[in-house]
Amino acid sequence: MGITTKYLYDVYTNAEELGEPNTRIENIIEDVCDLIQQACNRTFETATYKEWVDGSQTNYLFLKNYPITKIKRVSQSSIDVMDINNSGNEYAAITSNGASIILNTIDDEGTEFETVLNYASNANVSSLATSINAVSTWTTSVISDYGSKLSSNIKPLWGENIYDNESIELTVPYQSISVRVSDNSNNAIETVNGCNFTGGHSNVFVHYVAGYVLPVDNDQHSELRVAGNVPSGLTLVANMICKDVIDAVEGDMNMKDETIGNYKYVRGFVLSAIRRHWEDLQEYALKVI
């Protein structure tokens, strides 16, 4: 799925027969939509996000994914749920992200070891602690009664060093606060009571849903099965880029293979077309490329 479809492209180009199969065009549309998303530095399709963002010291916060369609939870307080220790290594560090805990060590002989513990297999803090304790030289304990807290809510750490006789604490969101999507904005939230968010680095946890419903063709590409709600201007730019690429491919005498198999070759056409249409496209981007 993408921000345009074969049917929408056929309508844009006034194709004589809607629904006429064309694998080459369908593949080019797929690549164009993917590279537009990369150029815009954002995800267009509706998805659920858990993010720790910087407190703004104002009563509103801007989120990087939009349009915001649902706010599930916001918290600007946290609580320790686990401490982690390592022994017997020259170097030990821990990284936590939205998907996993990564344990890194380097022993006295310079041999590096890495263990990745995915939250999908360790859904709560207690199961994650059990998996950490099963890794050689690593130990941990669950603090208080927070073993049932979701591992995927753990605040990120990036290569945090663990020194001898010290430990690293992992934290999760604590008390929730009331917020809403800001008026006249699709990428900002604001506190309901007008109080400011506490200033800080990655100190506000936001669990929310954002993005568009993408259009989907029927099996014959003769009409839309799902209309979606992608802005018409964005779909128009995508169709313009697709047409530029298809015209370039068809008009290039050096193009021996008319399928998308020669990916690097066609990719160059796509990137060139994106640059030509960037003035219109950047309205939907997070930052200019």
Residue range 138-196, pLDDT digits in tens: 999 998 777 788 999 999 998 899 887 788 999 999 999 999 999 888 899 999 998 99
- pLDDT tens column, 99-120: 999 999 998 888 999 999 999 9
Q: Which of 41, 97, 96, 55 is nearest to 206 (CA)?
A: 55
Q: For 258-276, what is the mean pLDDT?
A: 73
Burial 82-118 (b: 16+ CB within 10 A, else e): bbbbbeebeebbbbbeeebbbbbbeeeeeeeeebebe
* Contact in structure between 107 and 134 (CB atoms under 8 Å): no
**pLDDT on residue 255:** 53
Domain residue ranges of the chain, discontinuous segments joined by +: 6-44+213-284, 47-76+176-210, 78-173
DSSP structure string for 212-246: BPPPEE-TTSSSEEE-----HHHHHHHHHHHHHHH
Q: Provide, rounded to the nearest whole percent, the portion of the chain with pLDDT above 90.
A: 72
Each residue's pLDDT tens digit, 210-244: 999 999 999 999 999 999 999 999 999 999 999 99
The model carries a pTM of 0.84
Question: 202 is written with which tokens?
Answer: 């990655």
Report in angstroms the alpha-carbon separations of 47 from 145, 211, 216, 289. Answer: 31, 6, 17, 23
DSSP β-ladder status, 168-173 and 78-86: antiparallel
Collapsed DSSP state (helix, strand, coil) of residue 180: strand
Quote the CA–CA distance of 188 and 142 in Å, as a whole number. Answer: 35
